[in-house]
Amino acid sequence: MKHRIGLAEAVRLRSPGDDNIVFRYGTVLLKGYSFLSLARQALTGHKGWPVIWRSPEVKKSYDVIIIGAGGHGLATAYYLAKNHAVKNIAVLEKGWLGGGNTGRNTQVTRSNYYWPQSAAFFDHSLKLYEGLGRSLNFNVMLSQRGILNLAHNAYELEGMRRWANAIKINAIDAEVLTPIDIKKLVPLIDLDCRFPVHGGFIQRRGGISRHDAVAWGYARAASALGVDIIQQCEVTGFNTASGRVTGVNTTRGTIGADKISFAVAGHTSHLAKMAGFRVPVTSMQLQAMVSEPIKPCLDTVVVSTAIHMYVSQSDRGELVIGGGADVYNSYAQRGGIPVLQENVAALLELFPVFSRLRLMRQWAGITDITPDTTPLMGLTPVQNLYISGGWGTGGYKAIPAGGDTMAYTIANDKPHPLIEDFGLERFKSGALIDEGAASGVAH
């Protein structure tokens, strides 16, 4: 606890020449960004903005080290500092913050989950998202434009009614739609495609947000609360003493810690192996792609499981397209041709009018897929080492709740009630929470 950092020091570490103190701690908002401040800064050539996050030196030890400065790691650090009064926290990042799956996903935010445990957790997340821009004082561009799932035959529609009913029982919004409703909502859709649209359901509170802004908003808030975000610092090993973790070796030296948590999508198996245990995770590439930007033509997120495709339109105008994973183990963030073609063909099956638009860019993230597509959260076989992983293709929407519940878990050395069933033990007992299997739809 020697290196506890206080408010004054946190402020001092910000860029020199910044004279107006803008951060305030506690439960109230992080101040500083507003129309007024923007207008004021415009008059002075924006010379007075403080750093969004600090780039501090690494200390010898911390109370808590979080490995991975993605959305989950940063949110965990933020909530640890904000809600659990832990001040001496570092987030270690091998690359640049928000550069993994946080910066590669298709930005979908929703809580239309089937099983009560999933629904409770993800709706907590959506609720946090709903206030996130204001509580972080950073616009994360949450656009609750609705997420529409399509049913392409009578059985699929039955499955969706089952799913929508479950969501409603879980006290979350869901609405079953007819093909006519769908056409009104999405005029460009071709309902009479190879597998005609029989209906669907929508979660109107679902939608998209801006992934970078979420990472940066948390980074800024965590940094202001004294969290050290150390980029370009790769963990190469864990130090343990009598079954208890004591620190990490990194490319920037050895760092001590009382508690360590890791949230490293795409590298979960790798870190677990380093710590000496196995996790039920397979890493695969999940592709996403964008078209050239065009004027607004699609106001909802459209998901079709039967034909493996989802699409939304970003605020910049690009169609953001995703679909199935490249189904073999991979740590390449590239994506191949077969899935590209499948995704695009599926899109055109539903939206033939898009055929003359052009694909601008394709990329991939590495998704850590668990056997039941439910995350791995909580304690590990190593004492004081915690895990948040196995997010599959859906970690982005879980960032606020993931951070909140992991912060609790780390602070109390016991799983947050919302994630009690998400632990590694379920694979031994067989008590899986198979969201995909039950709702017929993968995350």
Partner 1 sequence: MLRISCPWCGTRDELEFTFGGESHVTRPTPDASDDVWSDYLFNKENPKGVHYESWMHRYGCGRWFNVARDTVTHEIYAVYPMGEAKPDLGETDRE
Partner 2 sequence: MNKRLSTGGRIDRNKPLSFRFNGNQLQGLQGDTIASALLANGIRTLNRSFKYHRPRGVMSAGVEETNALLTASDGNGNIPVVRTTVRELSDGHEIRSPTGFPSVNFDLGRVLDFTHKIWTAGFYNKVFKWPNWHWYEGTVRRLAGLGKVPDGKDRNKYFHHNLHCDVLIVGAGPAGLAAALSLINSGARVLLAEQDCELGGSLLAHSTQIDSLDSDLWINQTRSTLEDAANVSIMTSSTVSGYYDHNVLTIADRSTAGVKRFWKIRAKEVLLTTGAVEQPLVFENNDRPGIMLAAAAMEYVNRYAVMPAEAMVVATNNDSAYQAAFALHDNGVRVPAVVDARAIVADEIAREANRRSIPIMAGSVVLDTVGTMGLKGISIGKLAPDAESTINPIGTIACQGLAISGGFSPDVALYSQAGGKLRYDDDLACFVPQECRQHVTIAGAADGKFSLAEALKQGTRAGSEAANSAGFACSPADVATSTINTYRLEAIRITPVGDTSRQWVDFMHDVTVADIELAVRENIVSVEHLKRYTTTGMSADQGKTSNLNALTLLAKLTNRAIEEVGTTTFRPQFMPVSLGAIAGQRHGGFYAPARLLPAHDWHLDHGAVFENYGTWKRPEYYTTNGHDRDAAIAGEVLATRQSVGLLDGSPIGKVEIKGPDAGEFLNRIYVNNVLTLKPGRVRYGIMLSENGIVIDDGVFSRLGDDHYLVNPTSAHADLITNWLEKWHQCEWPDLDLIISPVTGQWAVATVAGPRSRELLQEIESDIDFSAEALPHMSMVAGSFLDVPARVQRVSYSGEMSFEIGVPATQGQRVIEALMSSGGDRIKLIGIEALGTLRTEKGYLHIGGDTDGMTNALDIGFGAIVTKKQTDFIGKRSLLRAEDQRGDRRQLVGIEPLDDNEDLKPGAHFVTPSDQGSRSQGIVTSACFSPTLQRTIGLGLLESGFERKGETLTVFDDGRNFDVRITDPVFYDPSGEKMNA
Q: Is 251 in the site for partner 2 (CB under 8 A)?
A: no
Please report, as residue ranges, which positions from 318 to 337 form the binding site for partner 2 (by CB under 8 A): 332, 334, 336-337
Asked if 171 touches partner 2 (CB under 8 A), the answer is: yes
Rank residues 256 and 317 by Cβ distance to partner 2 and give the closer one: 317
Distance CA 128, CA 398 (A): 10
Residue 122 CB, shortest distance to partner 2, in Å, is 16
For residues 352-371, which are near partner 2 according to CB under 8 A? 352-363, 371
Options 283, 300, 312, 439; binder of partner 1; rule CB under 8 A: 283
CB 157 within 8 A of CB 214: no
Q: Does 430 bind partner 2 (CB under 8 A)?
A: yes
When binding is defined by CB under 8 A, the residue of 345, 381, 412, 417 that contacts partner 2 is: 345
Strand, helix or coil at 105? Answer: coil
**437 counts as binding partner 2 under rule CB under 8 A:** yes
Q: Pattern of binders to partner 2 over 289-308, x per CB under 8 A?
A: --xxxxxxx---------x-
Residue of 279, 290, 387, 441 interacting with partner 1 (CB under 8 A)? 279
The secondary structure of residue 309, as a DSSP letter, is E
Binder of residue 328, out of partner 2, partner 1, none (CB less than 5 to 8 A by kind) = partner 1
Length of the chain: 443
Q: CB under 5 to 8 A by kind: which of partner 1, partner 2, none does 100 bind?
A: none
72, 395 contact by CB (below 8 A): yes
In the set 102, 111, 269, 409, which binds partner 1 (CB under 8 A)? 269
* Interatomic CA distance for residues 33 and 139, integer angstroms: 9
Question: Does 162 participate in binding partner 2 (rule CB under 8 A)?
Answer: yes
Q: How far apart are CA 332 and CA 316, in angstroms?
A: 27
- Site residues (CB under 8 A) for partner 1, limited to 361-400: 371
Cα-based distances in Å from 355 to 182, 278, 296, 306, 317 = 21, 45, 16, 20, 16
280 binds partner 1 (CB under 8 A): yes
Instruction: Based on the shown chain and the rule CB under 8 A, indicate whether residue 429 belongs to the binding site for partner 1.
Output: yes
> What is the residue whose two structure tokens read 């394709």?
362
Give the separation between CA 208 and CA 132, rounded to whole angstroms: 13
- Which of 22, 128, 142, 202 touches partner 2 by CB under 8 A? 142
**3-state SS track over 174-203:** CEEECHHHHHHHCCCCCCCCCCCCCEEEEE
Q: Which stretch binds partner 1 (CB under 8 A): 52-60, 198-206, 326-334, 400-408?
A: 326-334
Segments of 143-264 assigned E as strands: 147-151, 175-177, 199-203, 207-208, 228-230, 235-241, 244-250, 253-262
Interface positions with partner 1 (CB under 8 A): 236, 267, 269-270, 278-283, 327-332, 336-338, 371, 427-430
